[in-house]
Structure 1
Amino acid sequence: MDVRQLEYFLAVVDHGGVNRAAGALYLAQPSLSQAIRALERDLGQELFHRVGRRLVLTDAGHALVEPAREVLRGLQVARASVESVGALTAGRVEIASMPSQSVEPLSELIKAFTVAYPGLQVTIRAAFTAPEVIEMVRTGVTELGLLGSAEPPTAVEVEVRMLARQRFVVVAPPDAPFSGKITRDDLAGHRMIVGQRGTGMRRLADELDVFDVVESEHREAILPLVLGGVGLAVLTESWAALAKKAGATVLDLEPAAYLHVALVNRQARLSPAATAFLETAYRLSL
Protein backbone atom coordinates (compact mmCIF):
# COMPACT_ATOMS: atom_id res chain seq x y z
CA MET A 1 0.00 0.00 0.00
CA ASP A 2 1.38 3.41 -0.96
CA VAL A 3 0.26 6.99 -0.77
CA ARG A 4 -0.80 7.19 -4.40
CA GLN A 5 -3.12 4.22 -3.96
CA LEU A 6 -4.74 5.96 -0.99
CA GLU A 7 -5.12 9.13 -3.04
CA TYR A 8 -6.82 7.17 -5.81
CA PHE A 9 -9.07 5.37 -3.32
CA LEU A 10 -10.26 8.67 -1.79
CA ALA A 11 -10.81 10.17 -5.23
CA VAL A 12 -13.21 7.33 -6.07
CA VAL A 13 -14.99 7.84 -2.73
CA ASP A 14 -15.25 11.62 -3.07
CA HIS A 15 -16.27 11.67 -6.74
CA GLY A 16 -18.70 8.79 -6.47
CA GLY A 17 -17.17 6.48 -9.04
CA VAL A 18 -14.17 5.56 -11.17
CA ASN A 19 -15.12 7.61 -14.23
CA ARG A 20 -15.37 10.95 -12.46
CA ALA A 21 -12.39 10.18 -10.23
CA ALA A 22 -10.23 9.36 -13.24
CA GLY A 23 -11.25 12.63 -14.88
CA ALA A 24 -10.40 14.62 -11.75
CA LEU A 25 -7.02 12.89 -11.49
CA TYR A 26 -6.28 13.23 -15.24
CA LEU A 27 -5.78 9.48 -15.26
CA ALA A 28 -6.98 6.75 -17.61
CA GLN A 29 -9.87 4.80 -16.13
CA PRO A 30 -8.19 1.36 -16.56
CA SER A 31 -5.12 2.62 -14.70
CA LEU A 32 -7.26 3.85 -11.81
CA SER A 33 -9.24 0.60 -11.66
CA GLN A 34 -6.01 -1.38 -11.65
CA ALA A 35 -4.62 0.71 -8.78
CA ILE A 36 -7.77 0.12 -6.71
CA ARG A 37 -7.61 -3.62 -7.33
CA ALA A 38 -3.92 -3.62 -6.34
CA LEU A 39 -4.80 -1.83 -3.09
CA GLU A 40 -7.50 -4.41 -2.36
CA ARG A 41 -4.99 -7.23 -2.94
CA ASP A 42 -2.49 -5.56 -0.61
CA LEU A 43 -5.10 -5.25 2.13
CA GLY A 44 -6.68 -8.63 1.49
CA GLN A 45 -10.14 -7.03 1.51
CA GLU A 46 -12.59 -5.74 -1.04
CA LEU A 47 -13.06 -2.00 -0.59
CA PHE A 48 -16.02 -1.61 -2.95
CA HIS A 49 -19.02 -3.66 -3.94
CA ARG A 50 -19.45 -3.58 -7.71
CA VAL A 51 -23.16 -2.92 -8.29
CA GLY A 52 -23.59 -2.58 -12.03
CA ARG A 53 -21.49 0.44 -12.93
CA ARG A 54 -21.58 1.80 -9.40
CA LEU A 55 -19.07 1.27 -6.62
CA VAL A 56 -20.42 1.06 -3.07
CA LEU A 57 -18.08 1.05 -0.10
CA THR A 58 -17.79 -2.19 1.84
CA ASP A 59 -17.29 -2.21 5.62
CA ALA A 60 -13.55 -2.45 4.97
CA GLY A 61 -13.79 0.52 2.61
CA HIS A 62 -15.60 2.60 5.21
CA ALA A 63 -12.92 1.69 7.75
CA LEU A 64 -10.16 2.90 5.43
CA VAL A 65 -11.59 6.34 4.58
CA GLU A 66 -10.66 8.21 7.74
CA PRO A 67 -7.13 6.73 8.16
CA ALA A 68 -6.45 7.42 4.48
CA ARG A 69 -7.44 11.06 4.90
CA GLU A 70 -5.19 11.31 7.95
CA VAL A 71 -2.21 9.96 5.99
CA LEU A 72 -2.71 12.32 3.05
CA ARG A 73 -3.41 15.31 5.29
CA GLY A 74 -0.26 14.55 7.31
CA LEU A 75 1.86 14.45 4.16
CA GLN A 76 0.36 17.73 2.97
CA VAL A 77 1.18 19.37 6.31
CA ALA A 78 4.74 18.01 6.20
CA ARG A 79 5.29 19.24 2.65
CA ALA A 80 3.80 22.65 3.41
CA SER A 81 5.91 22.99 6.57
CA VAL A 82 9.12 22.38 4.64
CA GLU A 83 8.12 24.69 1.79
CA SER A 84 7.27 27.49 4.21
CA VAL A 85 10.67 27.56 5.94
CA GLY A 86 11.95 31.12 5.84
CA ALA A 87 8.71 32.73 4.63
CA LEU A 88 5.09 31.73 4.26
CA THR A 89 4.89 32.24 0.50
CA ALA A 90 3.24 29.02 -0.69
CA GLY A 91 0.54 26.71 0.52
CA ARG A 92 -3.20 26.23 0.69
CA VAL A 93 -5.84 26.24 3.41
CA GLU A 94 -9.12 24.35 2.99
CA ILE A 95 -12.18 25.54 4.90
CA ALA A 96 -15.60 23.91 5.23
CA SER A 97 -18.23 26.62 5.65
CA MET A 98 -21.97 26.94 6.00
CA PRO A 99 -23.65 29.26 3.45
CA SER A 100 -24.47 32.25 5.69
CA GLN A 101 -21.04 32.27 7.26
CA SER A 102 -19.51 32.17 3.77
CA VAL A 103 -21.13 35.54 3.14
CA GLU A 104 -19.88 36.95 6.43
CA PRO A 105 -17.51 36.67 8.24
CA LEU A 106 -15.65 34.35 5.83
CA SER A 107 -15.41 36.89 3.02
CA GLU A 108 -13.78 39.45 5.32
CA LEU A 109 -11.47 36.80 6.82
CA ILE A 110 -10.28 35.71 3.38
CA LYS A 111 -9.78 39.31 2.30
CA ALA A 112 -7.53 40.02 5.30
CA PHE A 113 -5.74 36.69 4.90
CA THR A 114 -4.93 37.13 1.21
CA VAL A 115 -3.69 40.67 1.82
CA ALA A 116 -1.33 39.42 4.52
CA TYR A 117 -0.31 36.27 2.61
CA PRO A 118 -0.78 36.89 -1.12
CA GLY A 119 1.02 33.70 -2.11
CA LEU A 120 -1.36 31.38 -0.26
CA GLN A 121 -4.46 29.77 -1.72
CA VAL A 122 -7.87 29.30 -0.11
CA THR A 123 -10.37 26.56 -0.96
CA ILE A 124 -13.94 26.79 0.41
CA ARG A 125 -15.93 23.57 0.64
CA ALA A 126 -19.69 23.65 1.15
CA ALA A 127 -21.36 22.26 4.26
CA PHE A 128 -24.97 22.95 5.19
CA THR A 129 -25.16 22.19 8.91
CA ALA A 130 -22.88 22.60 11.92
CA PRO A 131 -22.51 18.82 12.42
CA GLU A 132 -21.49 18.48 8.76
CA VAL A 133 -18.78 21.13 9.18
CA ILE A 134 -17.46 19.43 12.31
CA GLU A 135 -17.43 16.02 10.61
CA MET A 136 -15.51 17.34 7.60
CA VAL A 137 -12.87 18.79 9.91
CA ARG A 138 -12.75 15.77 12.21
CA THR A 139 -12.23 13.33 9.36
CA GLY A 140 -9.60 15.46 7.61
CA VAL A 141 -11.61 16.51 4.57
CA THR A 142 -10.61 20.06 5.53
CA GLU A 143 -8.33 21.48 8.20
CA LEU A 144 -10.67 24.29 9.23
CA GLY A 145 -14.40 24.84 9.43
CA LEU A 146 -16.68 27.83 9.91
CA LEU A 147 -20.14 27.26 11.30
CA GLY A 148 -23.16 28.92 12.84
CA SER A 149 -25.19 27.32 15.59
CA ALA A 150 -28.23 28.40 17.61
CA GLU A 151 -26.43 27.18 20.73
CA PRO A 152 -22.70 27.58 21.48
CA PRO A 153 -21.27 24.55 19.66
CA THR A 154 -19.34 21.77 21.35
CA ALA A 155 -17.58 18.83 19.73
CA VAL A 156 -15.07 16.08 20.41
CA GLU A 157 -11.81 15.55 18.49
CA VAL A 158 -11.82 19.13 17.19
CA GLU A 159 -11.11 22.51 18.74
CA VAL A 160 -13.97 25.02 18.71
CA ARG A 161 -13.22 28.73 18.99
CA MET A 162 -15.99 31.30 19.12
CA LEU A 163 -15.68 34.26 16.76
CA ALA A 164 -18.90 36.25 17.00
CA ARG A 165 -22.68 36.29 17.23
CA GLN A 166 -24.90 37.08 14.27
CA ARG A 167 -28.36 38.47 14.91
CA PHE A 168 -31.32 37.08 12.99
CA VAL A 169 -33.25 39.49 10.78
CA VAL A 170 -36.40 39.14 8.71
CA VAL A 171 -36.08 39.76 4.97
CA ALA A 172 -39.31 40.82 3.28
CA PRO A 173 -40.44 42.12 -0.14
CA PRO A 174 -40.22 45.91 -0.72
CA ASP A 175 -43.99 46.30 -0.38
CA ALA A 176 -44.26 44.32 2.87
CA PRO A 177 -46.56 45.93 5.50
CA PHE A 178 -43.74 46.18 8.04
CA SER A 179 -41.14 48.75 8.96
CA GLY A 180 -38.27 49.00 11.44
CA LYS A 181 -38.74 46.02 13.74
CA ILE A 182 -40.92 42.95 13.63
CA THR A 183 -42.01 40.66 16.45
CA ARG A 184 -42.50 36.95 16.32
CA ASP A 185 -46.23 37.49 16.74
CA ASP A 186 -46.20 39.65 13.60
CA LEU A 187 -44.91 36.67 11.63
CA ALA A 188 -47.77 34.39 12.68
CA GLY A 189 -49.56 33.00 9.65
CA HIS A 190 -47.14 34.45 7.11
CA ARG A 191 -45.56 32.27 4.46
CA MET A 192 -41.86 31.60 5.02
CA ILE A 193 -38.92 30.45 2.97
CA VAL A 194 -36.77 28.22 5.15
CA GLY A 195 -33.52 26.30 5.07
CA GLN A 196 -33.18 22.58 5.64
CA ARG A 197 -33.42 21.02 9.08
CA GLY A 198 -30.26 21.28 11.16
CA THR A 199 -29.67 24.96 10.37
CA GLY A 200 -30.14 27.84 12.79
CA MET A 201 -32.55 29.66 10.48
CA ARG A 202 -34.75 26.55 10.18
CA ARG A 203 -34.76 25.99 13.93
CA LEU A 204 -35.92 29.54 14.53
CA ALA A 205 -38.60 29.30 11.83
CA ASP A 206 -39.88 26.06 13.38
CA GLU A 207 -40.40 27.92 16.66
CA LEU A 208 -42.65 30.44 14.94
CA ASP A 209 -46.29 29.97 13.97
CA VAL A 210 -45.64 30.24 10.25
CA PHE A 211 -46.38 28.31 7.07
CA ASP A 212 -43.18 27.23 5.31
CA VAL A 213 -43.87 27.09 1.60
CA VAL A 214 -40.32 26.56 0.37
CA GLU A 215 -37.46 24.62 1.92
CA SER A 216 -34.18 25.37 0.15
CA GLU A 217 -30.60 24.21 0.58
CA HIS A 218 -29.57 26.91 -1.89
CA ARG A 219 -29.24 30.21 -0.03
CA GLU A 220 -28.76 32.06 -3.33
CA ALA A 221 -32.40 31.24 -4.17
CA ILE A 222 -33.84 32.86 -1.05
CA LEU A 223 -33.55 36.53 -2.00
CA PRO A 224 -35.15 36.08 -5.45
CA LEU A 225 -38.00 34.16 -3.83
CA VAL A 226 -38.53 36.91 -1.25
CA LEU A 227 -38.39 39.65 -3.88
CA GLY A 228 -40.85 37.67 -5.99
CA GLY A 229 -43.37 37.79 -3.16
CA VAL A 230 -43.27 34.07 -2.36
CA GLY A 231 -42.76 34.69 1.34
CA LEU A 232 -40.59 36.07 4.11
CA ALA A 233 -37.24 34.68 5.22
CA VAL A 234 -35.38 34.64 8.50
CA LEU A 235 -31.66 35.05 7.81
CA THR A 236 -28.64 36.19 9.75
CA GLU A 237 -27.56 39.81 9.57
CA SER A 238 -24.68 38.77 7.31
CA TRP A 239 -27.24 38.86 4.48
CA ALA A 240 -28.60 42.32 5.35
CA ALA A 241 -26.37 44.38 3.04
CA LEU A 242 -27.01 42.11 0.03
CA ALA A 243 -30.74 42.03 0.74
CA LYS A 244 -31.00 45.84 0.96
CA LYS A 245 -28.94 46.27 -2.19
CA ALA A 246 -31.32 43.91 -4.00
CA GLY A 247 -34.28 46.01 -2.89
CA ALA A 248 -35.64 43.85 -0.06
CA THR A 249 -36.86 45.17 3.29
CA VAL A 250 -34.70 44.09 6.24
CA LEU A 251 -36.27 44.11 9.70
CA ASP A 252 -34.83 43.48 13.15
CA LEU A 253 -36.51 40.51 14.81
CA GLU A 254 -37.78 41.10 18.35
CA PRO A 255 -37.01 39.68 20.79
CA ALA A 256 -33.53 39.28 19.41
CA ALA A 257 -32.22 35.83 18.49
CA TYR A 258 -28.64 35.03 17.61
CA LEU A 259 -26.49 32.52 15.79
CA HIS A 260 -23.15 31.65 17.37
CA VAL A 261 -20.32 31.71 14.82
CA ALA A 262 -17.26 29.54 15.47
CA LEU A 263 -14.10 28.31 13.80
CA VAL A 264 -13.18 24.67 14.27
CA ASN A 265 -9.88 23.02 13.52
CA ARG A 266 -8.30 19.61 13.67
CA GLN A 267 -6.48 18.70 16.86
CA ALA A 268 -3.64 17.27 14.80
CA ARG A 269 -0.79 19.51 13.71
CA LEU A 270 -2.03 22.12 11.27
CA SER A 271 -0.32 23.28 8.10
CA PRO A 272 1.41 26.68 8.26
CA ALA A 273 -1.28 28.12 5.99
CA ALA A 274 -4.10 26.94 8.27
CA THR A 275 -2.27 28.25 11.33
CA ALA A 276 -1.84 31.64 9.64
CA PHE A 277 -5.54 31.74 8.78
CA LEU A 278 -6.51 31.03 12.39
CA GLU A 279 -4.23 33.78 13.61
CA THR A 280 -5.74 36.20 11.10
CA ALA A 281 -9.27 35.29 12.19
CA TYR A 282 -8.52 35.80 15.88
CA ARG A 283 -6.92 39.18 15.27
CA LEU A 284 -10.01 40.37 13.44
CA SER A 285 -12.40 39.00 16.08
CA LEU A 286 -10.69 40.72 19.02
Structure 2
Amino acid sequence: MSVDFRKLQSFVKIIDAGSISRAAGLLNTVQPALSQQIAALEQHFGQKLLIRSNSGVTPTEAGLVLYRHAQLMLKYLEQASLDISRASQALAGHVSIGLATYSSSSTLSLPIIQEVRRIHSGITVHINDSFGQILSELVMSGRMDMAIIYASQPIKGTKLTPLFSEELFLVANAETDMGGSQDASLDLKTLENLPLVLPGRGHFLRKLIDEAFARVRIDPVVVAEIDSVPSLAAAVKSGIGASILPLSVVRGTPGLENAHVRKLVKPAIRADVSLCTPDPAPMSEPALAVKAVLLKVVAELIEKPQAGLMLV
Protein backbone atom coordinates (compact mmCIF):
# COMPACT_ATOMS: atom_id res chain seq x y z
CA MET A 1 0.00 0.00 0.00
CA SER A 2 1.34 3.41 -0.92
CA VAL A 3 0.52 6.49 1.11
CA ASP A 4 -1.11 8.88 -1.34
CA PHE A 5 -2.03 12.49 -0.83
CA ARG A 6 -5.75 11.70 -0.83
CA LYS A 7 -5.39 9.55 2.29
CA LEU A 8 -3.29 12.21 3.99
CA GLN A 9 -5.83 14.90 3.10
CA SER A 10 -8.63 12.77 4.56
CA PHE A 11 -6.60 12.12 7.73
CA VAL A 12 -5.95 15.85 8.26
CA LYS A 13 -9.61 16.69 7.64
CA ILE A 14 -10.76 14.06 10.18
CA ILE A 15 -8.52 15.51 12.91
CA ASP A 16 -9.53 19.08 12.09
CA ALA A 17 -13.22 18.12 12.17
CA GLY A 18 -12.86 15.92 15.26
CA SER A 19 -15.15 13.33 13.74
CA ILE A 20 -15.07 10.88 10.83
CA SER A 21 -18.72 11.55 10.02
CA ARG A 22 -18.23 15.32 9.97
CA ALA A 23 -15.13 14.93 7.80
CA ALA A 24 -17.09 12.70 5.41
CA GLY A 25 -19.64 15.49 4.98
CA LEU A 26 -16.93 18.09 4.36
CA LEU A 27 -15.18 15.86 1.82
CA ASN A 28 -18.46 14.80 0.18
CA THR A 29 -17.77 11.12 0.67
CA VAL A 30 -19.08 8.30 2.85
CA GLN A 31 -17.87 7.43 6.34
CA PRO A 32 -16.88 3.78 5.56
CA ALA A 33 -14.53 5.01 2.81
CA LEU A 34 -12.73 7.30 5.27
CA SER A 35 -12.55 4.53 7.87
CA GLN A 36 -10.91 2.28 5.27
CA GLN A 37 -8.34 4.98 4.47
CA ILE A 38 -7.47 5.38 8.16
CA ALA A 39 -7.17 1.59 8.53
CA ALA A 40 -4.81 1.52 5.52
CA LEU A 41 -2.66 4.28 7.03
CA GLU A 42 -2.50 2.48 10.38
CA GLN A 43 -1.52 -0.74 8.65
CA HIS A 44 1.19 0.99 6.63
CA PHE A 45 2.76 2.77 9.62
CA GLY A 46 2.13 -0.04 12.07
CA GLN A 47 0.71 2.46 14.58
CA LYS A 48 -2.71 3.32 15.93
CA LEU A 49 -3.40 6.84 14.69
CA LEU A 50 -6.84 7.71 16.08
CA ILE A 51 -8.67 7.15 19.35
CA ARG A 52 -12.39 6.76 18.73
CA SER A 53 -15.06 7.67 21.31
CA ASN A 54 -18.74 8.59 21.42
CA SER A 55 -17.80 12.27 21.15
CA GLY A 56 -15.60 11.84 18.06
CA VAL A 57 -11.93 11.09 17.41
CA THR A 58 -8.64 12.36 18.79
CA PRO A 59 -5.15 11.64 17.45
CA THR A 60 -2.68 9.42 19.27
CA GLU A 61 0.92 10.59 19.72
CA ALA A 62 1.79 8.83 16.45
CA GLY A 63 -1.27 10.44 14.89
CA LEU A 64 -0.10 13.91 15.92
CA VAL A 65 3.29 13.29 14.31
CA LEU A 66 1.65 12.17 11.05
CA TYR A 67 -0.76 15.15 11.24
CA ARG A 68 2.11 17.65 11.38
CA HIS A 69 3.97 16.00 8.50
CA ALA A 70 0.81 15.62 6.44
CA GLN A 71 0.03 19.32 6.81
CA LEU A 72 3.48 20.21 5.54
CA MET A 73 3.28 17.79 2.60
CA LEU A 74 -0.16 18.99 1.56
CA LYS A 75 0.89 22.61 1.86
CA TYR A 76 3.95 22.09 -0.34
CA LEU A 77 1.92 20.07 -2.84
CA GLU A 78 -0.47 23.01 -3.13
CA GLN A 79 2.41 25.45 -3.47
CA ALA A 80 4.12 23.21 -6.04
CA SER A 81 0.96 23.16 -8.14
CA LEU A 82 0.78 26.95 -7.96
CA ASP A 83 4.48 27.37 -8.78
CA ILE A 84 4.27 25.02 -11.75
CA SER A 85 1.17 26.69 -13.16
CA ARG A 86 2.84 30.09 -12.90
CA ALA A 87 6.39 29.05 -13.77
CA SER A 88 6.62 31.56 -16.58
CA GLN A 89 5.03 34.35 -14.56
CA ALA A 90 6.13 36.56 -11.67
CA LEU A 91 6.17 35.11 -8.16
CA ALA A 92 2.71 34.68 -6.73
CA GLY A 93 1.13 33.00 -3.75
CA HIS A 94 0.10 33.44 -0.14
CA VAL A 95 2.76 33.95 2.56
CA SER A 96 1.97 34.14 6.27
CA ILE A 97 4.12 35.93 8.86
CA GLY A 98 3.65 35.77 12.61
CA LEU A 99 4.65 38.77 14.73
CA ALA A 100 5.23 38.49 18.47
CA THR A 101 3.04 40.83 20.50
CA TYR A 102 4.73 43.58 22.54
CA SER A 103 7.77 43.56 20.28
CA SER A 104 9.31 45.85 17.70
CA SER A 105 8.13 43.37 15.11
CA SER A 106 4.71 45.05 15.24
CA THR A 107 6.28 48.12 13.61
CA LEU A 108 7.59 45.96 10.75
CA SER A 109 4.24 44.80 9.35
CA LEU A 110 3.44 47.89 7.29
CA PRO A 111 6.90 48.33 5.68
CA ILE A 112 7.05 44.59 4.91
CA ILE A 113 3.65 44.67 3.20
CA GLN A 114 4.55 47.83 1.29
CA GLU A 115 7.89 46.44 0.07
CA VAL A 116 6.41 43.08 -0.94
CA ARG A 117 3.66 44.90 -2.78
CA ARG A 118 6.26 47.00 -4.61
CA ILE A 119 8.57 44.14 -5.60
CA HIS A 120 6.26 41.09 -5.74
CA SER A 121 2.75 42.33 -6.46
CA GLY A 122 1.50 38.77 -7.01
CA ILE A 123 2.27 37.72 -3.42
CA THR A 124 -0.38 38.20 -0.75
CA VAL A 125 1.06 38.66 2.76
CA HIS A 126 -0.95 37.51 5.77
CA ILE A 127 0.10 39.01 9.12
CA ASN A 128 -0.74 37.21 12.37
CA ASP A 129 -0.03 38.86 15.72
CA SER A 130 -2.45 36.79 17.79
CA PHE A 131 -1.19 36.34 21.35
CA GLY A 132 -3.32 33.25 21.80
CA GLN A 133 -1.22 31.13 19.46
CA ILE A 134 2.34 29.85 19.85
CA LEU A 135 3.93 31.11 16.66
CA SER A 136 6.84 28.64 16.60
CA GLU A 137 4.37 25.73 16.67
CA LEU A 138 2.47 27.22 13.74
CA VAL A 139 5.73 27.47 11.80
CA MET A 140 6.79 23.95 12.77
CA SER A 141 3.44 22.47 11.69
CA GLY A 142 3.47 24.31 8.36
CA ARG A 143 0.44 26.47 9.13
CA MET A 144 2.63 29.58 9.00
CA ASP A 145 5.61 30.31 6.75
CA MET A 146 7.70 32.30 9.23
CA ALA A 147 7.46 34.31 12.43
CA ILE A 148 9.35 37.01 14.28
CA ILE A 149 9.48 35.84 17.88
CA TYR A 150 11.20 36.42 21.19
CA ALA A 151 13.71 33.57 21.31
CA SER A 152 17.41 32.85 21.41
CA GLN A 153 17.48 29.14 22.29
CA PRO A 154 16.90 26.43 19.64
CA ILE A 155 13.31 25.28 19.08
CA LYS A 156 12.85 21.76 17.69
CA GLY A 157 11.51 21.69 14.15
CA THR A 158 12.47 25.28 13.41
CA LYS A 159 15.48 27.38 12.46
CA LEU A 160 16.14 30.61 14.37
CA THR A 161 17.95 33.51 12.68
CA PRO A 162 18.91 36.23 15.21
CA LEU A 163 17.56 39.62 14.12
CA PHE A 164 18.13 42.14 16.89
CA SER A 165 18.02 42.81 20.61
CA GLU A 166 15.88 45.48 22.23
CA GLU A 167 15.93 47.10 25.65
CA LEU A 168 12.83 47.49 27.75
CA PHE A 169 11.83 50.89 29.20
CA LEU A 170 9.47 52.06 31.90
CA VAL A 171 6.48 53.91 30.44
CA ALA A 172 4.01 55.89 32.57
CA ASN A 173 1.36 58.52 31.90
CA ALA A 174 2.26 62.19 31.88
CA GLU A 175 0.98 62.79 35.43
CA THR A 176 3.11 60.09 37.07
CA ASP A 177 5.97 61.57 39.10
CA MET A 178 9.02 59.38 38.55
CA GLY A 179 11.48 61.82 40.13
CA GLY A 180 14.59 63.24 38.49
CA SER A 181 14.84 64.49 34.93
CA GLN A 182 13.08 62.92 31.97
CA ASP A 183 16.43 61.72 30.60
CA ALA A 184 17.58 60.08 33.82
CA SER A 185 17.62 56.29 33.98
CA LEU A 186 15.90 54.36 36.76
CA ASP A 187 17.23 51.57 38.93
CA LEU A 188 14.77 48.69 38.90
CA LYS A 189 14.64 48.83 42.70
CA THR A 190 12.97 52.25 42.55
CA LEU A 191 9.87 50.57 41.06
CA GLU A 192 9.22 48.50 44.19
CA ASN A 193 5.97 50.26 45.12
CA LEU A 194 4.92 51.46 41.66
CA PRO A 195 1.65 49.96 40.33
CA LEU A 196 2.36 48.12 37.09
CA VAL A 197 0.28 46.76 34.22
CA LEU A 198 2.21 44.00 32.44
CA PRO A 199 1.71 41.24 29.86
CA GLY A 200 0.41 37.97 31.31
CA ARG A 201 2.73 35.42 32.87
CA GLY A 202 2.71 33.27 29.75
CA HIS A 203 4.37 35.99 27.68
CA PHE A 204 8.14 35.88 27.10
CA LEU A 205 8.55 39.55 28.07
CA ARG A 206 6.80 38.97 31.38
CA LYS A 207 9.24 36.18 32.17
CA LEU A 208 12.18 38.52 31.51
CA ILE A 209 10.61 41.23 33.68
CA ASP A 210 9.90 38.83 36.55
CA GLU A 211 13.46 37.46 36.38
CA ALA A 212 14.87 41.01 36.53
CA PHE A 213 12.81 41.87 39.62
CA ALA A 214 13.85 38.59 41.22
CA ARG A 215 17.52 39.51 40.75
CA VAL A 216 17.05 42.68 42.81
CA ARG A 217 14.89 40.76 45.32
CA ILE A 218 11.71 42.77 45.13
CA ASP A 219 8.15 41.81 44.29
CA PRO A 220 6.57 44.12 41.70
CA VAL A 221 3.09 45.51 42.38
CA VAL A 222 1.22 44.13 39.38
CA VAL A 223 -2.31 45.56 39.37
CA ALA A 224 -3.34 44.15 35.98
CA GLU A 225 -2.13 41.63 33.39
CA ILE A 226 -3.07 42.60 29.83
CA ASP A 227 -2.30 40.69 26.64
CA SER A 228 -3.52 43.41 24.27
CA VAL A 229 -1.28 46.31 23.27
CA PRO A 230 -4.13 48.84 22.81
CA SER A 231 -5.73 47.85 26.13
CA LEU A 232 -2.43 48.07 27.98
CA ALA A 233 -1.75 51.49 26.44
CA ALA A 234 -5.17 52.69 27.58
CA ALA A 235 -4.48 51.45 31.11
CA VAL A 236 -1.15 53.30 31.22
CA LYS A 237 -2.68 56.49 29.81
CA SER A 238 -5.51 56.41 32.37
CA GLY A 239 -3.04 56.15 35.23
CA ILE A 240 -3.98 52.65 36.38
CA GLY A 241 -0.30 51.78 36.34
CA ALA A 242 2.98 52.09 34.52
CA SER A 243 4.37 49.38 32.24
CA ILE A 244 7.67 48.00 30.93
CA LEU A 245 7.91 47.80 27.15
CA PRO A 246 10.32 48.03 24.20
CA LEU A 247 10.87 51.61 23.08
CA SER A 248 9.54 51.00 19.57
CA VAL A 249 6.25 49.70 20.99
CA VAL A 250 5.88 52.84 23.09
CA ARG A 251 6.58 55.10 20.13
CA GLY A 252 4.35 53.18 17.75
CA THR A 253 1.29 52.79 19.97
CA PRO A 254 -1.52 55.37 19.89
CA GLY A 255 -2.22 56.72 23.37
CA LEU A 256 1.39 56.68 24.52
CA GLU A 257 2.58 59.70 22.53
CA ASN A 258 2.93 61.91 25.62
CA ALA A 259 3.95 59.20 28.09
CA HIS A 260 7.00 59.43 30.34
CA VAL A 261 9.63 56.97 29.14
CA ARG A 262 12.67 56.12 31.27
CA LYS A 263 15.52 53.73 30.65
CA LEU A 264 15.85 50.92 33.19
CA VAL A 265 19.23 49.93 34.65
CA LYS A 266 20.61 47.75 37.42
CA PRO A 267 19.66 45.51 35.78
CA ALA A 268 18.83 46.52 32.24
CA ILE A 269 16.26 44.23 30.62
CA ARG A 270 17.02 43.08 27.08
CA ALA A 271 15.08 40.74 24.81
CA ASP A 272 16.45 38.89 21.78
CA VAL A 273 14.24 38.71 18.68
CA SER A 274 14.71 36.03 16.02
CA LEU A 275 13.21 34.98 12.72
CA CYS A 276 11.65 31.53 13.04
CA THR A 277 11.42 29.41 9.89
CA PRO A 278 10.65 25.69 9.37
CA ASP A 279 13.48 23.17 9.51
CA PRO A 280 14.21 20.90 7.73
CA ALA A 281 11.14 21.49 5.54
CA PRO A 282 11.90 23.76 2.56
CA MET A 283 10.27 27.14 2.11
CA SER A 284 8.30 27.98 -1.03
CA GLU A 285 9.68 30.45 -3.56
CA PRO A 286 7.21 33.18 -2.52
CA ALA A 287 8.08 32.61 1.15
CA LEU A 288 11.80 32.90 0.41
CA ALA A 289 11.14 36.14 -1.46
CA VAL A 290 9.19 37.57 1.47
CA LYS A 291 11.90 36.42 3.87
CA ALA A 292 14.46 38.40 1.88
CA VAL A 293 12.23 41.48 2.04
CA LEU A 294 11.76 41.01 5.79
CA LEU A 295 15.50 40.82 6.44
CA LYS A 296 16.04 43.95 4.33
CA VAL A 297 13.37 45.89 6.25
CA VAL A 298 14.86 44.78 9.60
CA ALA A 299 18.38 45.82 8.52
CA GLU A 300 17.11 49.27 7.54
CA LEU A 301 15.26 49.65 10.84
CA ILE A 302 18.32 48.72 12.90
CA GLU A 303 20.25 51.54 11.21
CA LYS A 304 17.82 54.10 12.64
CA PRO A 305 18.98 55.16 16.15
CA GLN A 306 15.46 56.16 17.18
CA ALA A 307 14.29 52.57 16.74
CA GLY A 308 16.28 51.52 19.82
CA LEU A 309 17.32 48.19 18.30
CA MET A 310 20.72 46.56 18.62
CA LEU A 311 22.44 43.78 16.72
CA VAL A 312 22.50 40.53 18.67
Relative to the length of structure 1, the TM-score reads 0.80
Contiguous gaps of at least 5 residues in structure 2:
300-312
Cα distance between partner residues in 2 of 1:166 and 1:250: 18
Q: Look up the match of 2:277.
A: 265
Q: Look up the match of 1:162.
A: 162
Task: Tell me which of 181, 189, 193 is aligned to 2:193.
Answer: 189
Cα distance between partner residues in 2 of 1:242 and 1:230: 20
**Residues 1:242 and 1:212: Cα distance change in structure 2 (over 3 Å):** same
Q: Look up the match of 1:110.
A: 113
Write the deviation string for residues 167-213 of structure 1: whole angstroms up to 9, x where unpaired: 21222223111334451123212222222335342023212231222
| 1:177 counterpart = 2:177 | yes
Write the deviation string for residues 214-252 of structure 1: whole angstroms up to 9, x where unpaired: 223333321122223222211222312244645551413
1:202 maps to a residue whose letter is R
| 1:253 counterpart = 2:263 | yes
How far off is 1:28 after superposition? 3.8
| 1:276 counterpart = 2:277 | no
Contiguous gaps of at least 5 residues in structure 1:
none
Q: Say whether the 8 Å CA contact 2:108–2:297 is kept in structure 1.
A: no
Relative to the length of structure 2, the TM-score reads 0.74
**Residues 1:141 and 1:175: Cα distance change in structure 2 (over 3 Å):** same
**Residues 1:48 and 1:226: Cα distance change in structure 2 (over 3 Å):** farther
Task: Tell me which of 215, 218, 223 is aligned to 2:225.
Answer: 215
Q: Say whether the 8 Å CA contact 2:11–2:38 is kept in structure 1.
A: no
Cα distance between partner residues in 2 of 1:177 and 1:32: 68
How far off is 1:90 after superposition? 1.7
How far off is 1:283 after superposition? 2.2
2:198 maps to a residue whose letter is V
Cα distance between partner residues in 2 of 1:189 and 1:96: 36
Cα distance between partner residues in 2 of 1:2 and 1:253: 58
1:161 maps to a residue whose letter is T
Q: Say whether the 8 Å CA contact 1:243–1:250 is kept in structure 2.
A: no
Cα distance between partner residues in 2 of 1:268 and 1:196: 32
Cα distance between partner residues in 1 of 2:95 and 2:164: 21
> Which secondary structure state, in structure 1, belongs to the residue aligned with residue 58 of structure 2?
strand
> Which secondary structure state, in structure 1, belongs to the residue aligned with residue 102 of structure 2?
helix
1:281 maps to a residue whose letter is L
> Which secondary structure state, in structure 1, belongs to the residue aligned with residue 224 of structure 2?
strand
1:232 maps to a residue whose letter is A
User: After superposition, where does 1:30-179 map in structure 2 within 5 Å?
Assistant: 31=28, 34=31, 36-44=34-42, 47-101=49-103, 102-126=105-129, 128=131, 132-149=134-151, 152-178=152-178, 179=182
